[in-house]
Amino acid sequence: MPSSPPRRRLLQVAGGGLVAAPLAYGGWQWLAPHRGSGDEDPSTGTTTGKPASDSADQAYLHVIAHADDSIYFMNPDLEQSIRSGALSMTVCMTSGESDGRNAPGRAAQFKATPTDRPAFARARINGLRAANALMATGDDNSPWTVEPVELLPGYRAELHYLQAAPHVQLIYMGLCEARYVSVPRPVSMRGLWLGAIKELPTLPGTGSTVGMPRAYTRDQIIDALVAVIARVNPTVIRTLDPTPMHAPRETVAMMSAPTILRGLSYLDHQDHTSSARFMQAAMERYWGAGKRRAASVSNYIGYPTNYTPPSLDAAATRRNSQLLNAYGWADHRDCGDPSGCGDLKVGPNGLKGGGAGWARGTRTRTPGTSRWVAPLKDGRLAAFAVLNGAVRCWVEQAAGKGTWQGPFDAVGSAGGPLDPQVEVVRHADGTLQLFAARTVLPFNGNKHHKELVCVQQSGIGADGVPTFGAWTSLGAPDTALDKTLETGYPATALAPDGTVHVLVRDWAGDIALRSGRGGRGWGPWRLLDHPAGKQPPHPLVVEGIDALVDPSGRLHVAAPIAKTVLHWVSPAPGELPELTPPTGMTPSGSAVSLVADGKGGVCAVYRQAGTAQVALASPDGSAEQWKTERRAPVGGYGRVAVARLSGKGSPLILAARDDQGRVVASSRASAGPDGWETPGLQFVGIPGIAQDAGGRGVIVVLGTDGLLYASRQTKPGARFGNWAVAAHQSQGSRV
C-alpha cells in the first residue's frame, strides 16, 4: 500500500476522524461567492465579505450500499462536494460482491470468468476510488492511502483517503450484500433489519487491511453509522431512498419467502433501501443524544429513475459517463492491483443497458417547494427548514431590512424524523401553519410507517421568535402501514375562505386531497380522477406535485407523469378538482411549480426532460394545449422556485439551481441576454421566495454549511443584492 501523507496535513476532529487541513488544490477548488463580514447596506440588509462556503465550515457525508451508487444517483452533487475542498466522506456499507464475476453478464467471457467474490469486491472499491480521484484531481490513477479504522471496539473498516486531496475519503464497512435486487435473502441488510437473522457477516475484499470477517447485529450497524456521523460532524448528509416506489406486481420469490421476509416488491435494490433505513435510525439516535452541528439531509432516488423522465442535461450526462467509465475500468488502466481496477459489469459506458436512466436522472425523494418562508403578523419574514431531523426557524430582525437571526428551536419534536423539507401556510390573521411528513421507525413498539403532520403558530415569544403548539397527525391517504411509506411530499394551497388544502401522491400514484377550514377540522382523504381508459402506467404520477388557488377560489393541481404534465381544476370554488384536457406540455425532468399568471389563471414552471431547461407553460386562450416559454439554459436539476409578487406589474421571480449547484435568480429586472442574474452560493434543498414589508422580493437558501442566506431586491422590481448570512445563534438558543 502507498505510504500515508504526512500527519501534519491532517487534523483530528471530535470522535477521532481524519479531516483534511486546508490545502492548495489549485484549479480544482471552486471559487465561492461572498457572505457577510459586517459591512451592511441598511437598505437591503445584504453584506459582502469572506467566502460563503469556507471549507472549514462544512462537511459532507454520503452513505451508499454499493460502490457505484453515489456516481449513478448523487451526481452532480457529489462532485461539487468533492470540488469544494471540504471534507467529503463516502461510506459504502456492503462489499458489493454480487456473483463474484468481474465481467458483463451477457459478455462471452462471463462464463469463463471464475467466481471470486473478495476479488470482485476489491475491483469495485478500486473503481470508486478511480472515479473519486478523477473528480478531485482529474487523474483516475491518483494514489490513495488505506488504513484500518475502528468504528466500534473490535470492528474494523477500511479508511481510504486520496493522497493528493486528503479531504476526499471513503469508508468500506464490507457487509455482505443481498446479491439480488429484490429476491428475499436472509443474509442481507434487509434480513437483518426485519429480524430474519441476528447478525450480518462482512466479506473483506482481497488484500483488505481489515483482516478476518466479523458480524454485526442490527444495533451494531446503527452504532457504527453513529460513530461515522460523529467523526465527520457533517453539515450535509446524503443517503439513498428509504421509501422507494413499489413494483407493479408482486414477485413469486417474495410471495413464497418466509413470513418474516415477505412484503411489497420494490423497483429499487433492496440494499439501497436498507442502507437508507439504517442511516435514518443512526441519525435519529445521534441527534437524539443532544445538540449537534446543524445538518441537512437529502435522500436520492435509485433505480426508479429509470421510470421517470431524465432530469439532467447533455453536459451533466456526459460527465456522468466519464465518471462511470473510470469506475467501470473502460480504459483497462493498470492500477497495480491484480484483483482488477474497476467494475466491468458496468461496461465501457455506463449510459448503456439497464442503467441508462440512472446516469441521466438525479432526483430526491422530497422535492420541497419554495413555500418555506413567509411574513409574520408584524411584517418580519420567517423561514423554516429541517435540520437534524427537526424544524428550525430564522427571523428578520426588523421588517423589510436588517439581518436575519437563527436557527431557533421554535417548533417541538414531531415524534419521528421529518422528511427533509417543510411547507408554510400563512393564514389571513397572519399566523403560520407548518406541514411536513414524518417517518415513524420500527422501534420502541412502533410499526414502520409515514404520515403527514402539521402544527399551528401559537404566538410570538418575548424574543420575537414565533412559537408553535403540538404537532397534529393528518395520517396518510393509505391505511395499510407499509403503503404509507410511499406517501409523497405534501403541497398546500390556501383558499379565500381560509380552507387549507393538502395534496399528496399516494401509494398507487394518484393524487389525494384533504381539506380543513382554518387548517383544522380536517375532512376525509379524497382521490382526484386520472386519465380514462385502460389501467394507467406505473407509476402514474412522478413525485413533485403542486397546488394553487386562483383569484376566483378554484383549486388548481399539477403533477408530472412519464410523458407530460397533468392539470386539474375545480369546476367551482370548494369542489373537487377535475382533470382537464391534455396540456401538451413536454415531459418534466423535475417537480412542477404552479404560480398565478397575473390574469386570473395559472402558470406551470418546470424543467424540460433531457435538457433541464426551465419552461413556463400556461393555457393558450381557447386552445386546449398550453403555450410554453423557455428560459436560457442554466443546467442543474430539481424544482424551480417561483413566486408572483404583488404590486405594479405583478413581477414574477424565479430561483433555480445551476450547473455548479449555485442559486441563480431571474426577475423582470434581470440583466444579461439570458435573463438570469449572477449566480450566488451553493445550497441544499429548494430556494424559498417571499415579498418583504417594503414590497421587495427576497430569496432564501439553506447553505451547505447549514446556515441561512438571503438576497433581497435593492428596491421593488430591481435586481437582487448580495447574499447575507443569518446572524448565527448556537443551536437551540433564542435571542
pLDDT > 50? residue 202: yes
pLDDT value, residue 729? 63
pLDDT value, residue 13? 29
Q: 280-312 pLDDT, tens per residue?
A: 999 999 998 887 899 999 999 999 999 899 999
What is the band of 53 on the pLDDT scale with cuts at 50, 70, 90?
Answer: low
pLDDT > 60? residue 4: no
DSSP string, 446-488: PPPEEEEEEEEEEEE-TTS-EEE---EEEE-S--SHHHHTT--
Strands 432-440 and 423-426: antiparallel
Say if residue 486 is exposed, middle or buried (CB neighbours under 10 Å; 0-12, 13-18, 19+).
Answer: buried
Q: Residue 445: what residue type?
A: G
pLDDT value, residue 6? 32
Give the H or E element holding residue 161: strand 155-162
Least confident of 33-42, 370-379, 385-394, 547-556: 33-42
Contact (Cβ atoms closer than 8 angstroms) between residue 406 and residue 473: no
Distance CA 316, CA 354 (A): 19
Distance of CA 629 to the CA centre of its chain: 28
| Gyration radius of the chain over CA positions | 25
Q: Which are the contacts of 645, defined by CB distance < 8 A and separation ≥ 6?
A: 651, 652, 653, 691, 695, 697, 716
Average the pLDDT over 428-456 and give the result.
96
Q: 714-726 pLDDT, tens per residue?
A: 899 899 999 999 9
DSSP string, 697-728: EEEEEEETTS-EEEEEBSSTTS-B---EE-EE
pLDDT value, residue 533? 76
Q: Is the dihedral of CA 202, 206, 207, 212 positive or negative?
A: positive
pLDDT value, residue 137? 98
pLDDT value, residue 673? 57
Average the pLDDT over 533-549 and give the result.
86
User: What is this structure's pTM?
Assistant: 0.92
Question: Distances in Å between the alpha carbon of 57 and those of 86, 221, 266, 686?
Answer: 8, 28, 38, 21
Strands 200-201 and 683-691: unpaired
Closest CA to 241 of 418, 486, 68, 53: 486
Strands 10-12 and 18-20: antiparallel
Contact (Cβ atoms closer than 8 angstroms) between residue 709 and residue 683: yes
Average the pLDDT over 591-606 and give the result.
95
What angle (nearest 5°) sits at the alpha carbon of residue 27, between those of residues 26 and 30?
Answer: 105
pLDDT value, residue 622? 65
What angle (nearest 5°) sits at the alpha carbon of residue 177, between those of residues 175 and 183?
Answer: 150
Q: Which are the contacts of 1, defined by CB distance < 8 A and separation ≥ 6?
A: 145, 146, 209
Q: Percent of the chain beyond pLDDT 90? A: 77
Domains of the chain: 7-21+57-360 (3.40.50), 373-728 (2.130.10.10)
Give the H or E element holding residue 224: helix 218-232
Contact (Cβ atoms closer than 8 angstroms) between residue 601 and residue 626: no
Question: Distances in Å between the alpha carbon of 551 and those of 484, 528, 546, 596?
Answer: 33, 21, 17, 9
Closest CA to 660 of 22, 6, 31: 31
